[in-house]
A and B are shown apart, each in its own frame.
Chain A
Amino acid sequence: MHPKRISVKFFVSPDPQLAVDLHPFIGIFHSFIQQKTVEGLLIDVANYAHVPEGPGVVLIGHDVEYAIDSTDGRAGLLVTRKNFGGAVPVPYVLRDTLRKALGMIRAIEAHPDAGLKFAMDAIEIQFVDRLAGPNTDAGYEAARAALEGPLQEVFGAGASLARGHTADSRAMLSVRVNVAEPADAGTLLDRACAAVGGIRTQNGAAPPEPDAKPQTPWDVSAVALEKLRDEGADFVLLDVREPAELEICSLNGTNIPSGQLHGRLNELERDAHIVVHCKGGGRSSKAVEMLRAAGFGNVWNLRGGILAWIDQIDSSLTRY
């Protein structure tokens, strides 16, 4: 199943049935756009505070929307992931949405004007696509099969799934997740990031250089790469993917596919500053090790590859 949109909702703690003061979120969300505090191509803030049990205040983005939502009378952070630019498998979208949601939660909880905490013991996942994810028994079974594994990776083996929205077949397919042993948002974020490729998200609350699992001793993050580019630093960006992959998305680096690299070393200068990337970091890690062994002293690996770049820097590129 390939739904066009998926949403994840974390509920307000301690009591999601109490009304949330939405007004401060207009300012908070505008400041998140200004400071690029959370992930996504952020566009604007929509205020629906006048509508009862509605989306409240929404931070609108191209690829993701964040809402302080009180649909069904339960207040929480509703994060909707959309515009994937292709058919992306549900487990991947789920991990990615969780990571964005947890990043936002950390940013909100750290904000002095928000006055909001979120519970980690239950979430709701909705398939915002009635064609790909119908609210039927079969739809739920397919969803459960796709979600259970990745949910247990992040929330632990005790995470149990149940079908929501059973009373109204017109509502969206909903999966309610109960967590037996809740962890804090930071731990969940680490687990979600590990699952998506070892890169931990940036936000106001996270450390500036995410402490994700290294792929080589010579890793640089996507954020660091962007900084190099912004500074106009003199370095070579080496893309070791296959030419067909470049057509999907590219950072406009020099392309030498990993299989040909050994035979084309003469195209690179031994003392050049080189950053190598591939799709997710596997091929580039090997390339970095090989280049260093061949005497290239200033070679680095883009941790998480172009996927990390898309997630953290430029979501307008097509993910594959």
Chain B
Amino acid sequence: MSSPPLRWKQQLAGQMDPGWASEIDDFESQLQLRSQGKLDEKVFAETRLRRGVYGQRYDNGQRHDGIAEATLAFADRPTKGSETLWDAPGMQRIKIPGGGVTPEQLEVLADCAEEYSDGILHVTTRQDFQLHYIHIEDTPDMMRRLAAVGITTREACGNSVRNVTACPRAGVCKTETFDVSPYARALMEFMLGHPDVQDFGRKFKPAFSGCEHEACGLIQLHDAGWLAREKDGKRGFKVVVGGGLGPVPHQAKLLSEFTPEEEFLKEMQAVARVFARLGEKKNRGRARIKFLVAKLGIEEFRRLVEAEKKTIPHDPRHTAFLDDMPRTQGEPARLPAPLPPGEHSDAFKTWYATNIYHQRQSGYSLVTIALPLGDMTSNQTRALVDIARTYSGDNIRTTVEQNMVLRFVSSEDLPALYEALDAAGLASPGAGSIIDVTSCPGTDTCKLGIASSRGLAGELRNRLGAKSASLPQAIKDLKIKVSGCFNSCGQHHVADIGFYGNSRKIDGRTVPHFQVILGGQWTENAGSYGLAVGSVPSKAIPEAVEALTEGYVQGREPNESFQSWMARIGKRNAREIIKPFMKVPAYVDGPDFYSDWSDVREFTIGDLGVGECAGEVVSLFGIEVVKAESQAFDAQITLDEGDAEGAEDGAYSAMLSAARALVRIEYIDVTEDADDIVQQFKTRFFENERFFDRFAKGKFGRYLLDRHANPPARVDTDLAKQRIEEAQLFIEASHACEARLAPEVAVAGQPAQESLATQ
């Protein structure tokens, strides 16, 4: 008999928090029970999600390989939750509160990436790390290794309080009111596993900001946000709730102008209880707190929170954290000193111009490591650890722009630090500039991805990077953000130039597109969102970006921001700029348009939803849906001109037109009457779920049904904006539905001419 194999569980016993260790043991038992079919699949799905163990694209075992839909021959074992096959690789999300990591933690993350993933650490737009292609059997040991260095993956996914984010400059920033890091940490520790946050209908994303006018913690787009404020020498927060991106973005609303520091945890607990009690539970599409705040109105929501606060019993943890403040600030590794004068290389100067922030602590710098698409290798991570140990101590953070920062670097050391980073391939210049494109995973690994956001981001990065030296400063300062679908994980709403993936049926084939969103605001904590101006095929996006940036540089007034320029020229003119790029050539003339970036397979949305074959390809839809699109577009302009009521009505009309276009595929005689259209849409497409998206289900269809059944008594700007967003999504869903109806043209082995002839 050979000795029993070593196990991490024994190896790390005593190094983990006992509570965390037993949670992981429980998870491992549940995993074994499920693998034997002894635990309900829905229960197991929520269990694993609450531990950050996510599914990944193709995990239902179906994948279009570019020629045909293929079944991946995974073993026949119990699922990991509906449609997620046991052996299909998945994603592990690892939450990093406030983005703060130590060298020891990074070393373990690097080890885990090598041994369980593909040697890549990916930084997300919410300061998490993600590892991809993970096998579920490996997750308990991975969690143990992380727990041994103080990282938990608990509540990294699922309907829970997600990672608490905070500005990476917190504590070193020149404009902050005070360092929010210890408060972010306190909230995370208080809420983790708290009984009041276990019954949410949907996830809850918190964020902290130190400065009102910078981008900082982006609190305006969070479910709840805390902005540092001082009043009569006392610390506290301005508190906002009900923000969020997603398909229908909401700006957060003011809950409290000033909540003293000793009360903010209690207040959060009250918010959690109100959300758990009154928030939507059945319809996931309306379950985020933003919908509850919009439904009740912020005044009523505030009243409920105030009343709830009075019922919460005294808990010493509400204030205990104040006794050992501050405690997240690591010790600098080196003494502060200014950058020595002298000759520096051009490469150093280029990097210095964009990647260095002078801390308020004189002689110290914050250094940004710009990661392409948020990725770095395990070897690079270890190199970064060595550099951090030498130059910055424990002060490493992740950022929502998918980068890393080193804090408390003595400015004197910057030239040596640059050399060391460069040797590890970590000295890319242009942090926070137009080449530092943000992107969610998109079709690379995400089940919801429609178009390749990472492919597009990589292409834009290459093209803009190649000519970055010659770009005018005004262009360099722009931000580009890309999402693979309308769910906004790439935060496209708050970029100067944002994109989200969608698709169009053209020439009998599906063509990857991106909706162009212009003029979002990054500063003022993501103070306002950009607006959709039109869909451009993926392969024409780089040209469209060039035209937009050219148009801006030529047309702007001195010092005019992209956002002000957009507001001045209006969406109609903006659309004119991208219009030449909206056309898709016929397949024979431009087959390249029919595959996505960083992929060679002919594009399909079949991996997203199961197709439904209903017979003939009908091009009538394509002609008629254009009317809906221009109505939605005009509604935006109407709103800009100050007519909220007209805009809301226009958006509703746009939905009716899209629904009518769909109905006419099957029932050509449908009238123009709204009741008739809605009735036909309901019976032909909604009730039988043909309109349903695999993930969003009937959400988008309900936008029309709800509006039709309950016309608003009073329309304000917020409602009109929301309706326009809804119309946009309803039109997208109509396109997607039509694409599912039309049979896909066989791609391989069939001459293009022949397939054209079937049109």
Residues of A within 8 A of B (CB): 2, 4-5, 26-27, 30, 33-34, 41, 43-55, 58, 60, 62, 65, 67, 71-72, 82-83, 87, 128-132, 168, 170-172, 314, 316-317
Contact = CB atoms under 8 A, between A and B. Distances in A.
B135 interface: yes
A147 to B, nearest CB: 17
Contacts of A83: 87, 135
Given A27-B600, A131-B8, A50 B458 contact: yes
B581 interface: no
Given A26-B599, A30-B66, A53 B135 contact: no
B722 to A, nearest CB: 37
B460 to A, nearest CB: 12
Given A71-B379, A87-B5, A316 B73 contact: yes
A128 B461 CA distance: 32
Contacts of B379: 53, 71-72, 171
B376 interface: yes
Contacts of A2: 5
A46 B73 contact: no
A173 to B, nearest CB: 11
Given A41-B72, A52-B425, A132-B5, A30 B114 contact: no
Contacts of B675: none
B11 A131 contact: yes
Contacts of A52: 380, 425
B73 A314 contact: yes
- Which of B58, B377, B455 has the most C-beta atoms of chain A within 10 angstroms of its own C-beta? B377
A43 B58 contact: yes
A27 B110 CA distance: 29
Interface stretch (B115-123, B294-302, B518-526): B115-123
Interface string B447-480: 0000000110010010000000000000000000
Interface of B: 5-8, 11, 57-58, 63, 65-67, 72-75, 87-89, 107, 110-111, 114-115, 118-120, 132-133, 135, 138, 372-373, 375-377, 379-380, 382, 425, 444-445, 454-455, 458, 461, 598-601
Given A62-B89, A129-B115, A43 B63 contact: yes
Contact of B65 (A33, A41, A128, A170): A33
Contacts, number: 115
A41 B133 contact: no
Query: Which of the listed residues B57, B107, B379, B455 has the most CB atoms from chain A within 10 Å of its own CB?
Result: B379
Given A48-B375, A51-B376, A62-B74, A128 B115 contact: yes
B118 A5 contact: no
Contacts of A41: 72-74
A55 B118 contact: yes
Given A50-B461, A55-B118, A65-B118, 13 more contacts: A26-B599, A30-B601, A41-B73, A44-B57, A46-B132, A46-B133, A48-B118, A52-B380, A53-B380, A55-B120, A131-B8, A132-B5, A170-B110
B377 A53 contact: yes
A54 B119 contact: yes
A58 B598 contact: no
13 contacts: A26-B599, A41-B74, A43-B89, A46-B132, A46-B133, A51-B377, A52-B380, A54-B120, A55-B118, A65-B133, A131-B7, A172-B115, A316-B87
9 nearest CB pairs, A to B: A52-B425, A316-B75, A27-B600, A50-B372, A54-B377, A34-B65, A47-B598, A131-B6, A51-B375
Contacts of A44: 57-58, 63
B115 A170 contact: no
B38 to A, nearest CB: 18
A58 B132 CA distance: 12
Contact of B600 (A4, A30, A55, A65): A30
Nearest to B372: A50
A132 B3 CA distance: 12
Contact of A46 (B67, B74, B444, B461): B444
A80 to B, nearest CB: 8
Contacts of B458: 47, 49-50
Contacts of A50: 372-373, 375, 458, 461
Contacts of A171: 379, 382
Contacts of B601: 30
Given A34-B66, A44-B58, A71-B377, A51 B120 contact: yes
Contact of A168 (B118, B120, B133, B382): B382
A49 B599 CA distance: 13
Contacts of B8: 131
Contacts of A54: 119-120, 375, 377, 380
A8 to B, nearest CB: 15
Contacts of A170: 107, 110-111, 382
Contacts of A314: 73
Given A46-B118, A60-B118, A71-B377, A53 B425 contact: yes
A180 B597 CA distance: 44
A21 to B, nearest CB: 14
A313 B178 CA distance: 62
B57 to A, nearest CB: 7
Contacts of A131: 6-8, 11
Contacts of A130: 111, 115
Contacts of B382: 168, 170-171
